């Protein structure tokens, strides 16, 4: 039994929600998002809250029940507040800068890496060693942050590379004589 799926998702103030069959649409100050729930769950809007129920008691339906509720909660939070992911760059000569809408990264390669910002995502560089990825879609924000980190992930000996803010890098001891 899903403990998360049981709780109804309250529609936040400033957000309008609409349920049309399996499609849940949320419109808020940051934009508009939608989620199409699986056919194994039912979605209803009652008392300014979205209620998700499994269609039957199969293992598959119960698994999709909690996930559907969490996805609906994520689109409500996204259109109201948005999502943000911070990245830090460590290393001598490693830096980031904005070049129009593109992110330019100097990560120790023989050339600069240019990352094109996808639609619906905003990238800011407050400091040359800090990158802030923002948007309304939680999955897309996380994906863009992961793609930027992938260019030069943090290495375990000196800790150089791109890492998430607050991420703890497990360091290794170097060679001994």
17-27 tens-digit pLDDT:
999 989 999 99
Which one, of 4, 7, 62, 68, lies nearest residue 38 by Cα?
A: 68
Residues 6+ positions from 99 with CB-CB distance below 8 Å = 114
User: Given this chain, do its domains 3-80 and 83-164 carry the same CATH topology?
Assistant: yes
66-116 tens-digit pLDDT:
899 999 999 999 999 999 999 999 999 999 999 999 999 999 999 999 999
Compute the chain's Rg from CA coordinates: 21
Alpha helices in the chain (DSSP H): 3-6, 59-80, 138-150
Tell if the pTM clears 0.85, that is, is over it.
yes
Which one, of 74, 132, 70, lies nearest residue 98 by Cα?
A: 132
Candidate CATH numbers 3.40.50.150, 3.30.420.40, 3.30.1060.10, 3.90.930.12; the one for domain 3-80: 3.90.930.12
pLDDT at 2: 60
The domain defined by 83-164 folds into Outer Surface Protein A; domain 3 (3.90.930)
């Amino acid at each position: 039994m899903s403990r998360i799926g049981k709780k109804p998702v309250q529609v936040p103030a400033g957000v309008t929600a609409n349920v049309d069959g399996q499609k849940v649409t949320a419109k808020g100050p940051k934009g508009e998002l939608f989620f199409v729930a699986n056919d194994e769950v039912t979605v209803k809007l009652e008392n300014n809250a979205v209620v998700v129920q499994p269609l039957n008691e199969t293992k598959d339906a119960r698994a999709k029940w909690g996930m559907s509720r969490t996805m609906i909660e994520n689109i409500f939070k996204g259109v109201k507040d948005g999502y943000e992911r911070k990245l830090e760059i460590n290393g001598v000569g490693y830096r980031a800068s904005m070049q129009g809408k593109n992110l330019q990264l100097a990560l120790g390669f023989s050339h600069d890496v240019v990352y094109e910002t996808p639609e619906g995502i905003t990238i800011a560089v407050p400091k040359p060693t800090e990158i802030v990825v923002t948007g309304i879609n939680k999955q897309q924000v996380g994906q863009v942050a992961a793609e930027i980190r992938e260019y030069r992930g943090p290495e375990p000996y000196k800790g150089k590379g791109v890492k998430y803010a607050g991420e703890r890098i497990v360091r290794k001891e170097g060679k001994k004589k």
